[in-house]
A and B are shown apart, each in its own frame.
Chain A
Amino acid sequence: MEYPQEGDPDLFQNFQFWDRPYGQIVSQFGSSKTFAKNGEGFCILYIMNTLEKFKILAESAKYDVSCSSSGAKRKNKLGMTVLGGICHSWSSDGRCISLLKILMTNVCIYDCAYCVNRRSNDIPRATFEPRELIDLTVDFYEKNYIEGLFLSSAVIKTPDYTMERMIEIVRQLRGRRQFGGYIHLKIIPGTSPRLLEIAGRYADRVSVNIELPTQKSLALLAPDKKMPEIIGPMKRLDTSIRSMIALRKKHKKVPAYAPAGQSTQLIIGATPETDLEIMGLSQWLYQSIHLKRVYYSAYVPVNTTKNLPALTTAIPLLREHRLYQADWLIRFYGFDGRELFTKNTPHLDLEVDPKASWALRHPEKFPVEINRADYETLIRVPGIGVQGAYKIVLTRQVKSLRIEDLKKMRISLKRAQYFITVKGKYHGDIPFTPEDIRERLAPEKRPALQNSSPQLNFFIQGKKEEIASVLHGEF
């Protein structure tokens, strides 16, 4: 047979073998065998069915945390997106499945130490043909398995080469298939501005993963990536998103440009950064690049390298949970990142949540009177959240609150009791002294927290707000 030449338009459609770094034989019946580790340009034609590709490429995509399908409103002949987003299933690790999270390919030119798909790992590799992936997305969408597509990819050849192919998939979905579902498109660091401009036209959300918070860590673990190559596209995308929003206000017909904004992901626990550095970065991202979400991903050891934690290291789930709590405080509770840390403690308190920890450092601000404190003060009370404060403010307009009313309104007093007065009376079971209260709030009495439930708490908190926002939208 004739070997296709590069530049041949059908090349990508039919063959993927030239960009495979290592040779691999996959028989027609599905069993695969990798046989050459360092062969440059070693390639053998292989046949792999969709199911096999699917297994490999979903397996590789799962360490991306983001899964939200919220923030965009769109409607087309096939499908629409709901502003609040919809979860369709929950996998056995308790994370929600909302989007078809998949890599276009896991063939990578980079060798990032923390990544499963790094060049030097000996794992089966696969690449989707655009049509294969589009058909599956549409089919899954129609059956209501998913809310849309989360397309990510390893880097083949160059960032631009990869990005062009990803955009092609998304363009066909939106164009030929009239797909109105949610599309989250991962942007490869180092993509050229021309492609960035196109990407936002088809995607609802775009994201560039920072992964490691400092240039130093990046140089250590991902020597092929540079900080400016990551931050640059983010800034450029932000400029486009802002200007398109401004334009849309003037002219209704201007098409939406990444209406659900940008997000990113940081890996926690692979490198020695402090929580202060991480939250500092997050806050900067929220304020200057207007990110919608920063995801924190507790590092799951997948590789052995001298620069990384050993494979046996526990996953820092609790730390991840605390970072999410702090993140929520910054975004919804009017906290400044600097308030959560002191000079001597660059890490968040693992024993009590960041809000309680802040409250215990500022006893002069408490207790607050439930019947008089304004909304901004109420949401700073440990145990009272956005919903609770909203309920209090609402009910206060028609009657003055007693302690029984709070209980009836489903406001948990477990933690709040130490920080509030109701009609001037303090209801805590112990006097108001930070040390004693800290004792009460610390998790010794809740041993389950150390294992799996920090995750649990986080998800409940996150989900509740998401569901709540949906409900508000509905009413």
Chain B
Amino acid sequence: MERKIYLYDGTYTGLLTALSVIEKKREKPGNICPKGSYRPGLFDKIITITTDPAETADFLNTLEKVLVRRSLDHIFRVFLSSVQHKEMAIYRYVRLGFETQKKLDYFLSDERVKFIHDHARKVSVEAHRMRGLVRFRELQDGWLYAPIETDHYVLPLIIRHFSQRLPQKQWFIHDIKRKKIAIHNLTYPRIFDVKNYRVPELSFKEAEHQKIWQEYFKNIAIKDRKNVRLQRQFMPKRYWKYLTEMEVIHNEETCTRYHP
């Protein structure tokens, strides 16, 4: 049995080109993979997709006619997720979409729709969370710098928010896991790849302001109502590393773990 494996370049445009090609051929793919993460199998027949912006635009137009805006947003969000086999899930969702058209998102109990909704939701929730949990630090040259480490690639979903929030500031957000950096230089934000980035010196005032914020954070809690479990539920520990107010606690815990 031969399996047809479609390889695309890992971009959203690439994935849409692949879907467009598959849709034209009208045959079921064995798998759709980004080039980097494909492991060859014995009976695999490899078809490499060349990303074609024109074809993608055509395909997107068709999708926009067939589906509602919200379904397209779901697809993009799942693409940003780090879940395994998301490409095939998107393919199945789109396939079902061509059958059901605008009513696609009504099929909540269908596995294909459920998968997309669940993972789109996860990405949206993390993006929303990061809009609050990003912490900028002021550098000596006045730029604002924020490192983040997220489960999913939410950077594209949050930069518009920050460029509206701080339009007249120079800032950049660094996705450490994915080695991406979003830079806003007084105009609009753009995302770049970055290999090694060493954080420059923080500004003179920064330490003082961090201290005031940490004090505020400590004092605003009502001790009689202490509920750390609830705190962790909203602000899971994996985000603590770059949170100014939790840094102290995070570092203390790491220290005691390694040097008891």
* Chain B residue, CB-CB nearest to A452: B227
B106 within 8 A of A: yes
Complex interface: stretch among B16-24, B42-50, B131-139, B189-197? B131-139
CA of A139 to CA of B222 in the docked complex: distance in angstroms? Answer: 25
Beta-carbon contact of B133 and A143 below 8 Å: no
User: Size class of B's contact patch?
Assistant: 35 or more
Query: Assuming A409-B108, A471-B128, is B235 touching A90 (CB within 8 A)?
Result: yes
Contact between chains at B221 and A92 (CB < 8 Å): yes
Q: Which of A52-104 contact B (CB under 8 A)?
A: 54-55, 58-59, 61-63, 75, 77-80, 82, 86-98, 100-101
A208: Cβ under 8 A from any B Cβ = no
- Expressed in whole angstroms, the minimum distance between the Cβ of A342 and any Cβ of chain B is 31
| B220 contacts A397, C-beta separation under 8 Å | no
Asked if B109 and A401 make an inter-chain contact with CB atoms under 8 angstroms apart, the answer reads yes
Of all chain B residues, which has the CB nearest A315? Answer: B224
What B residues does A300 contact at CB under 8 A? 222, 224-225
B-side interface mostly: helix
B121's closest neighbor in chain A, by CB?
A471
Within 8 A of A (CB), among B196-230: 209, 211-213, 215-217, 219-230
Q: What residue of chain B has the Cβ atom nearest to residue A101's Cβ?
A: B220
Q: If A93-B222, A93-B225, A315-B225 touch, does A399 touch B107 (CB 8 Å cutoff)? A: yes
In the complex the two chains form, is A90's CB within 8 Å of B231's CB? yes
A97 in contact with B220 given A394-B108, A459-B230, A474-B124 (CB within 8 Å)? yes
Q: Which of A55, A145, A459, A471 has the most CB of B within 10 A?
A: A145
Q: Is the CB of B106 within 8 A of A139?
A: no
A17 to B212, CA, bound (A): 24
- Select from chain B the residue with minimum beta-carbon distance to A75: B164
CA distance A361 to B222 in the complex (A): 37
B234 located at the interface, meaning its Cβ lies under 8 Å from any Cβ of chain A in the complex? yes
Closest residue of A by beta carbon distance from B107: A398
- B65 near A: Cβ within 8 Å? no
B214-254 interface with A by 8 A CB criterion = 215-217, 219-231, 233-235, 243-245
Do B146 and A144 touch (CB < 8 A)? yes
What's the minimum C-beta distance from B236 to chain A, rounded to whole angstroms? 10
Which residues of chain A come closer than 8 Å to B211, judged between CB atoms?
Answer: 51
Knowing A143-B144, A394-B106, A470-B128, say if A94 contacts B164 (CB, 8 Å). no
Contacts of B162 in A (CB 8 A): 144
* A residues at B contact (CB < 8 Å): 50-51, 54-55, 58-59, 61-63, 75, 77-80, 82, 86-98, 100-101, 136, 139-140, 142-145, 147, 300, 315, 317, 391, 394-395, 397-399, 401, 404-406, 408-409, 452, 455-456, 459-460, 463, 467, 470-471, 474-475
Nearest 10 CB-CB pairings of A with B: A94-B230, A405-B109, A91-B221, A94-B227, A93-B225, A88-B132, A408-B109, A58-B219, A143-B136, A92-B221
Q: A143-B244, A456-B227 are in contact. List 8 more A-B contacts (CB 8 A).
A: A89-B132, A93-B231, A94-B229, A142-B144, A144-B146, A315-B225, A391-B108, A397-B106
